């Protein structure tokens, strides 16, 4: 390779690396300080990117004007999501209503079981040395205080959530209106961005920004697939076992699956422990088998699904998640793979720019 081409290649690489670094710094400060303000518009931008293939399909195949195509796709999206949420809510209400009718029985059963365990604990407790008794008293007092604080915080959070319902409705309206404008004026916004930033950085930065938002979308699509698998396995397994309220428990397990590290463990481990304490060994064994299957399937599919949606090797996903966890904590599990894709997009942008300039 001639020295001039090598210098040009190094210049392109250095420029792309500098652009990526600046974008990451800007994104960090936006995420830290501006995310609560910009969140409706970021969500709207992601939705507009998600529905773009359907909008183009209506434009090209059915000759819809773009504004009408955007309105139609948003309407269908709202109808489908609303129908699914309504069906899930009706099922939850039905199962919770049935559970409330049986609540006195469950409370009485819990009280009998707890009193039996308490009697056994008192007998064992009376045989302990005084120093051990004082230590256990301190632990129990600390646990009761922590539980009281947790319940008070949960109650305050619930009341606060109810008070934000009108605000959330306004935010949703703003989000969908912004989605319409983002999708309708897609090309105009792109051209305005390119005109605002000097060449050749306008098109290149737009490519990197698109790659970053695409990474968000692909990551959440991967999470949706994993949560759907978790919910389906849980509901199917509980129905086979014969556990009541299988749908409600499955949906709650799917929601908990969004929690990094914890996930379905938060549901299954206390449930299995309670079954063992109450003598329901058969149910405990069945739940353990279901949990083992769920854990195995989830662990084996997570890296593969994420890598398929993000376009990187599963090993790179695992390394990015681990480094993100060590550097940024729990949030790094999400941001790690996304940052890898952003860097990958910057490299692709640099290569395309070099090829276009040849």
- In order along its 358 residues, the chain shows pLDDT tens digits of 555 666 666 666 666 666 666 666 666 666 666 767 777 888 888 788 888 888 988 888 888 898 899 999 999 988 988 888 788 777 767 766 666 666 666 666 666 666 566 566 656 656 666 676 677 667 766 766 776 676 566 556 655 655 666 777 888 888 889 999 988 888 888 787 777 777 766 676 777 667 666 666 777 777 788 888 888 999 999 999 888 878 878 888 888 887 656 678 888 888 888 888 777 889 899 999 999 998 888 877 776 776 666 666 666 767 777 777 777 666 677 677 777 766 666 666 566 656 655 5
Residue 82 lies in a domain: no
Which whole-number Å values give the CA distances from 258 to 212, 222, 230, 284, 348, in the listed order?
Answer: 21, 11, 10, 24, 31
Domain count of the fold of the chain: 1
Residue 296 lies in a domain: yes
In whole angstroms, give the CA distance from residue 272 to residue 266: 11
Give the pLDDT score at 132. Answer: 67
In whole angstroms, give the CA distance from residue 133 to residue 127: 9
Residue 354 lies in a domain: yes
Residue 107 lies in a domain: no
Residue 16 lies in a domain: no
Residue 237 lies in a domain: yes
In whole angstroms, give the CA distance from residue 91 to residue 94: 5
The tokens for 168 are 């959330």
pTM of the model: 0.57
Residue 229 lies in a domain: yes
190-195 contacts, C-beta under 8 A, 24 or more apart? none
What domain range is 217 assigned to?
198-358
Q: Please name which of 186, 163, 206 lies closest in space to residue 50, comparing C-alpha atoms.
A: 186
The tokens for 131 are 């120093």
Residue 11 lies in a domain: no
């Amino acid at each position: 390779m001639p020295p001039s081409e090598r210098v040009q290649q190094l210049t392109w690489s250095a420029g792309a690396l500098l652009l990526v670094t600046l974008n990451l710094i800007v994104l960090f400060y936006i995420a830290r300080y501006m995310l609560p303000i910009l969140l409706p518009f970021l969500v709207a931008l992601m939705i507009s990117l998600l529905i773009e293939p359907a909008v183009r399909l209506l434009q090209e195949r059915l000759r819809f004007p773009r504004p009408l195509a955007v309105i139609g796709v948003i309407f269908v999206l709202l109808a489908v999501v609303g129908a699914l949420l309504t069906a899930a809510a009706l099922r939850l209400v039905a199962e919770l209503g049935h559970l409330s009718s049986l609540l006195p029985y469950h409370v009485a059963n819990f009280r009998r079981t707890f009193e039996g365990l308490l009697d056994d604990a008192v007998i064992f407790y009376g045989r302990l040395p005084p120093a051990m008794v004082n230590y256990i008293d301190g632990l129990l007092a600390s646990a009761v205080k922590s539980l009281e604080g947790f319940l008070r915080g949960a109650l305050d959070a619930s009341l606060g959530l109810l008070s934000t319902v009108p605000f959330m409705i306004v935010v949703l309206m703003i989000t969908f209106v912004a989605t319409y404008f983002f999708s309708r004026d897609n090309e105009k916004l792109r051209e305005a961005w390119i005109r605002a930033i000097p060449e050749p950085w306008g098109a290149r930065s737009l490519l990197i920004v698109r790659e970053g938002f695409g990474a968000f979308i692909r990551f959440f699509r991967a999470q949706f697939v994993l949560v759907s698998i978790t919910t389906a396995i849980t509901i199917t397994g509980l129905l086979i076992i014969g556990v009541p309220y299988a749908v409600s428990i499955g949906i709650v397990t799917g929601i908990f699956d969004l929690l990094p590290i914890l996930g379905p463990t938060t549901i299954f481990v206390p449930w299995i422990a309670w079954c063992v304490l109450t003598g329901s060994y058969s149910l405990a064994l069945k739940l353990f088998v279901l949990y083992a299957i769920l854990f195995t399937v989830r662990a084996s599919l997570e890296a593969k699904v994420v890598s398929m949606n993000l376009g990187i090797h599963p090993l790179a996903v695992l390394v990015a998640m681990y480094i993100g966890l060590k550097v940024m904590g729990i949030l790094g599990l999400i941001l790690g793979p996304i940052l890898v894709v952003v860097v990958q997009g910057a490299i692709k942008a640099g290569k395309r720019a070099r090829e276009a300039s040849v």
